[in-house]
Amino acid sequence: MRKLRFFLSAVLILALASVSLAHPGRLDAQGGHTNKETGEYHYHKGPNALESLEIRRNTVYKAKIERVVDGDTAIVSFIFDDGSKYLKERVRFLGVDTPETVHPTKGVQYYGPEASNFTKSQLTGKVVWLQTDVGAKDRYDRMLAYVWTEEPSKADLEDEDAIRAKMFNAKLLLDGYAQLMTIQPNSRYANLFVHFQREAREAKRGLWGKDPE
């Protein structure tokens, strides 16, 4: 019996050690923690553990695009470590403004359908990484985020080549589907986005290609 107790104790200690190595550091009240290397927020509780989520600033969240509303807005669900999904959120893409397609008063604007269809074709059903800035939400309670189509490393967050290749907000500007719109105080990439818009305009890409009819 003593040997059995010793064996079970040893197994328990090894199991706890394994967990601590896999997920170093304390978990917060929401059952997760922020990776110090990448800035990405990880959940460790299942989908029924949370009824609400406090969106943090300067943090990266893994999510799935459930539905695209228009060119710069989508409905997402956050992804937990066990692969389950929970907590749907409406996300407004930071730094960009695509022409309207579903606005109640503005109607369908020039190049709006093209921008909306492009975002739908690129993001619907895809796993993305949502990077917040200084302000995590707007006055309409929408999450504000830069959308990465590939998981960004810490270095990627400061690298222009990585931003061009992996950030969807940048792609909207570079391909002429959106114009620059800075929602203060969220201006982390504002100077770079000015350059991207100028590049698209000079090349007459997308909405810059011709005058609205």
Sign of CA dihedral 176, 128, 189, 53: positive
Q: Which of 142, 164, 201, 205 is catalytic?
A: 142
**Catalytic site residue 100?**
yes
Q: What distance in Å separates the CA atoms of residue 92 and residue 146, rounded to the nearest whole number?
A: 9
Phi then psi for residue 196, to 5 deg, are -65, -45
Q: What distance in Å separates the CA atoms of residue 106 and residue 199, rounded to the nearest whole number?
A: 28
Instruction: List the one residue out of 72, 74, 86, 104 whose CA is nearest residue 173.
Output: 72
Q: What distance in Å separates the CA atoms of residue 2 and residue 157, rounded to the nearest whole number?
A: 55
Q: Could you tell me if 78 and 129 are in contact, meaning their C-beta atoms sit under 8 angstroms apart?
A: no
* CA distances, 181 to each of 49, 158, 178, 211 (Å): 36, 20, 9, 20
**Catalytic site residue 188?**
no
Q: What distance in Å separates the CA atoms of residue 81 and residue 164, rounded to the nearest whole number?
A: 28
**Catalytic site residue 92?**
yes
Catalytic residues: 92, 100, 142
